[in-house]
Amino acid sequence: MKILKERIGYGFGDMSSSMFWKIFSYYLPIFYSNIYGLGLADTGILLLVTRIWDAVSDPMMGIIADRTYTRWGKYRPYLLWMAFPFAICGMLLFTTPDFGRIGKLVWAYTTYIMMMTVYTAINVPYGAMLGVMTDDSDEKTVFSSYRMFFAFGGSFVALFAWEPLCIFFYYILGSVEKSWQYSMMVIAILCLIIFLFCFGMTCEHIKNFSTVSPASDFKSLIHNKPWWIVICAALCSNLFSTLRGAAAVYFFTGYIGNDTFLKIGNFSVLFYAGLFLSVGEVSNMLGVILTVPLSNVFGKKSTYIFIMGGVAMLSILFFYLPCNQIGFWLMLILQIIISICTGIISPLVWSMYADVSDYAELKNNTASTGLIFSSSSMAQKFGGAFGGAAVMWILSLFGYNTIKGAMQTDKALIGLNMLMSWIPAFVAILAMIIMRFYPLTRVQVVEVSKELKKRRVKIAE
């Protein structure tokens, strides 16, 4: 029961983070361009600049966390310390001040940088906890699976509830800007509570100590070939998800329409972005369940390559679906299958980072768990940065019209469809090619774990 409690508690952490992250990735771009009042080009630059800073700050936070020593451990305390700032910054991010263009730009840059800095301060230590909760590689995959199952569950709640929350507060307040702000308040309070549960239900069991300088940690990281492979592959898989997710809201607004229904006989349901994305999150959860059995049979590397090849083909197929009832149902079916596949990928990547961390500790005698896991967060944010910015720039290139209710040109419609199909498919193929060079086999990982156990026992004595 104690192990189950910790698995669930660890899952709560990414449940909270993902609720924020998915709203930032999927709804913040359209908030800035269609509600807040920034142009597509300004929004693209904002998303790129702020998230690049955010990604660069991750290694700094990793080094700080690696050298934090408290009665609660090295990484776990940050869940408590940063939970409240995390919620407050989220509320500020979706606040629309009564400023001019320059004032709004300054507010947007300031609040976004604040939010992403706090996100780094809580999420990097949270990710690094995986490396000190267990020293068993297979158990790390299990913890990663719980993490991603709860992450996708939180994403489902946030994405499914977001538009209804905005509609609810709009009817009460009569303001689109206020409705988005109050909706984020609801999500932020929920995230705060969940992070506190994560802190209370987890524990660090592995004690490791960094005996080298930060410069040596960085040198070790630069020469760590498995790390380079995983971070590049993770960047691609995150970019794939961000491209499709951020484009989905625009796709439904401009390509599908806001009054389209899925019909079966006399039954009909509104076919909107929130439904499409939240169904994807539930499907992600199904994929997470498959991660452990698939990786145990085929290995982490082979599973990753096969899955990314599959999502590439399915994404290309998406481009050729007709815009009618049959096409809408097929879009939803493809979304389910693609999301099951990406749900398998996420725990694999996090588990690989834990293996890379053990490999680095054994090879270079440096306990840089926080630094290595910060790179995973860095890959996620670079993927989000380039994905979010790319969507804005591609839409601008194809002439997408941001005016509410405006008809889109044929060129803009092709751009929207490309963002849901061929463009992410290319990224998936690139990820598959990169992962072919990953050198750590299952046998090597087991040997590394055995040697580290011996070394830690000697240090403890």
CA dist 442 and 298 (Å) reads: 10
Residue type for 373, please? F
CA 218 to centroid of chain Cα atoms: 24
Mean residue pLDDT across the chain:
84
Q: How confident is the model at residue 122 (pLDDT cuts 50, 70, 90)?
A: very high
CA 46 to centroid of chain Cα atoms: 19
- The region, left, alpha or beta by phi > 0 then psi within -120 to 50, assigned to residue 257 is left
Residues 6+ apart with CB under 8 A from 202: 6, 9, 10, 13, 76, 79, 129, 133
In the numeric block, the tokens 């949270």 are attached to 126
Residue 7: per-residue pLDDT: 92
Pairing type for strands 261-264 and 267-270 reads antiparallel
Least confident of 336-345, 383-392, 410-419: 383-392
- Model pLDDT for residues 15-57, shown as the tens digit of each residue: 999 898 888 877 888 898 888 988 877 877 887 777 677 667 8
Residue type for 383, please? G
Residues 6+ apart with CB under 8 A from 106: 99
Helices assigned H by DSSP within 67-136: 77-81, 83-93, 101-128, 130-133
Across 374-390, average pLDDT: 69
Q: How many CB atoms lie within 10 A of CB 413?
A: 17
- Model pLDDT for residues 197-223, shown as the tens digit of each residue: 999 999 988 776 555 566 666 676 777
CA dist 35 and 50 (Å) reads: 19
Q: Is residue 166 part of a domain?
A: yes
Q: How confident is the model at residue 418 (pLDDT cuts 50, 70, 90)?
A: very high
pTM of the model: 0.71
- Dihedral pair phi/psi, residue 207, rounded to 5°: -105, 115
Residue 97: per-residue pLDDT: 92
Q: What angle do CA 121, 380, 149 make, to 5 degrees?
A: 90
CA dist 383 and 449 (Å) reads: 30
From residue 272, give the alpha-carbon distance in Å to each of 40, 182, 183, 203, 413.
Answer: 22, 21, 18, 41, 17
CA 356 to centroid of chain Cα atoms: 20
- Dihedral pair phi/psi, residue 34, rounded to 5°: -105, -20
The answer on pLDDT for 116 being more than 70 is yes
Q: How confident is the model at residue 379 (pLDDT cuts 50, 70, 90)?
A: low
Q: Which domain holds residue 309?
A: 2-202+213-460
Q: Is residue 178 part of a domain?
A: yes
Q: How confident is the model at residue 127 (pLDDT cuts 50, 70, 90)?
A: confident
Q: Are 75 and 65 in contact (CB under 8 A)?
A: yes
Q: Is residue 208 part of a domain?
A: no
CA dist 383 and 238 (Å) reads: 5
CA dist 30 and 38 (Å) reads: 10
Q: Is residue 207 part of a domain?
A: no
What CATH number is attached to the domain comprising 325? 1.20.1250.20
Strand partners for 263: 268
Q: Is residue 28 part of a domain?
A: yes
Residues 6+ apart with CB under 8 A from 432: 304, 305, 308, 309, 312
HEC letters along 249-286: HHHHHHHHCCCCEEEECCEEEECCHHHHHHHHHHHHHH
From residue 196, give the alpha-carbon distance in Å to each of 18, 131, 199, 365, 386.
Answer: 15, 20, 5, 33, 31
Number of DSSP helices (H) and strands (E) in the chain, helices first: 18, 2
Q: Is residue 346 part of a domain?
A: yes
The answer on pLDDT for 111 being more than 90 is yes
CA 41 to centroid of chain Cα atoms: 24
The answer on pLDDT for 370 being more than 70 is no
Counting the structural domains of the chain, the total is: 1
- Dihedral pair phi/psi, residue 322, rounded to 5°: -75, 155
Q: Which residue has the higher pLDDT, 406 or 419?
A: 419
Q: Is residue 453 part of a domain?
A: yes
Q: How confident is the model at residue 297 (pLDDT cuts 50, 70, 90)?
A: confident
Q: Is residue 394 part of a domain?
A: yes
Residue type for 67, please? R
The answer on pLDDT for 405 being more than 80 is no
- Model pLDDT for residues 65-109, shown as the tens digit of each residue: 888 888 888 899 999 999 999 999 999 999 999 888 889 999 999
From residue 377, give the alpha-carbon distance in Å to each of 17, 71, 410.
Answer: 11, 25, 38
Please state, for a pLDDT cut of 70, what percent of the chain lies above it. Answer: 89
Q: Are 21 and 387 in contact (CB under 8 A)?
A: no
